[in-house]
Amino acid sequence: MPWTDQDILRYSRNILLKEIGPSGQEKLFSSSALVVGAGGLGSPALLYLAGAGVGRIGVIDGDRVDLSNLNRQWIHKEAAVGREKADSAGEMLLAFRSELRLEAHAEALTAENALELFRRHDVVIDGSDNFPTKYLCNDAAILAKVPLVHAGALRFGGQILTIVPGRGPCLRCLLPEIPPRKDAPTCSEAGILGAAAGVIGSWQAAEAVKILLKIGDPLTGRLLVVDILEATVTTLTVPRDPDCPACGKSPRIRAPLTASEYDLERSCAS
Ligand SMILES: [Zn+2]
């Protein structure tokens, strides 16, 4: 792709980084990323991916913007309350970068659409806000063999784990089954500082860029734990489980589970 003067100026700060340079930037232009959820994690993740020059970005979210989202989900304007999040986020992304190839899906990620969507992207960011969707992302990434940057954020912090199928552990190596509801409060139950979601979602975007460019040391086999209140960042080693139901030697999960099957898994764990 021929570079315009605008491209050189716009991406000059990326290109100055020796780990990126002009060839890395061209790689980003020809790369694609899918972000599941246009919420607290998806807001920074989507905009930093667009800002980095990732050529094609998909966003999938079946929810509508609620006033209570706006302490952290700043990809949506006040006037977007009540609108589909995917459409509102898409509008902001195109206003930010008009030449972006955008695919906005105003629907939930499901067993029916996950594999096809994941296979059409080079990396997936999980910005979802519930465990059934996080497990669906995990299982679909393993089955589709697409790298996934998993994360969760709550209260004043969060965790990130980068899952590279065939090369490192997955979410089910860490927690084989969906945790019971009582052990997994949501942001609407436990609260979240907007900036905490911003830190985690921004870090996810950086991980995705590392994966796309094959630079640095991804968070594969290491769970990053950020606690903003205590001002600590720690990494915990996550070994691969040979008996993992998703990525082990004899995996039980051969296809993404339906929503009711994930619910059943969660209710059995409680
Ligand atoms: Zn696993």
Q: What is the pLDDT of residues 61-98, one digit of tens each?
A: 999 999 999 999 999 999 999 999 999 999 999 999 99
Amino acid (1-letter code) at residue 145: K
Q: Is 176 helix (H, G, I), strand (E, B) or coil?
A: coil
Cα of 190 to ligand 1 centre, how many Å?
28
- Give the N- to C-terminal CA distance of the chain in Å, as an integer: 53
Cα of 263 to ligand 1 centre, how many Å?
20
In a domain, 224, yes or no: yes
In a domain, 2, yes or no: no
In a domain, 119, yes or no: yes
- pLDDT confidence of 127, banded at 50, 70, 90? very high
Model confidence at 158: pLDDT above 80 = yes
User: So what's the pLDDT on residue 261?
Assistant: 87
Is 0.75 surpassed by the pTM of this model?
Answer: yes
Cα of 130 to ligand 1 centre, how many Å?
19
Q: Is 64 helix (H, G, I), strand (E, B) or coil?
A: strand
* CATH (domain of 235): 3.40.50.720
Cα of 167 to ligand 1 centre, how many Å?
10
Q: Domain count of the chain? A: 1
Model confidence at 183: pLDDT above 80 = no
Is the model more confident about 187 or about 126? 126
Cα of 220 to ligand 1 centre, how many Å?
12
**b/e 64-80 (16+ beta carbons within 10 angstroms → b):** bbeeebeebbbbbeeeb
**What pLDDT, in 10s, does the model give residues 103-124?**
999 999 999 999 999 999 999 9
Cα of 172 to ligand 1 centre, how many Å?
5
The answer to whether the beta carbons of residues 169 and 238 sit under 8 Å apart is yes
Domain interval for residue 121:
13-269
The set of residues, in sequence order, having a beta carbon less than 8 Å from that of 157 and lying 6+ positions away, is: 196, 200, 225, 226, 227, 228, 229
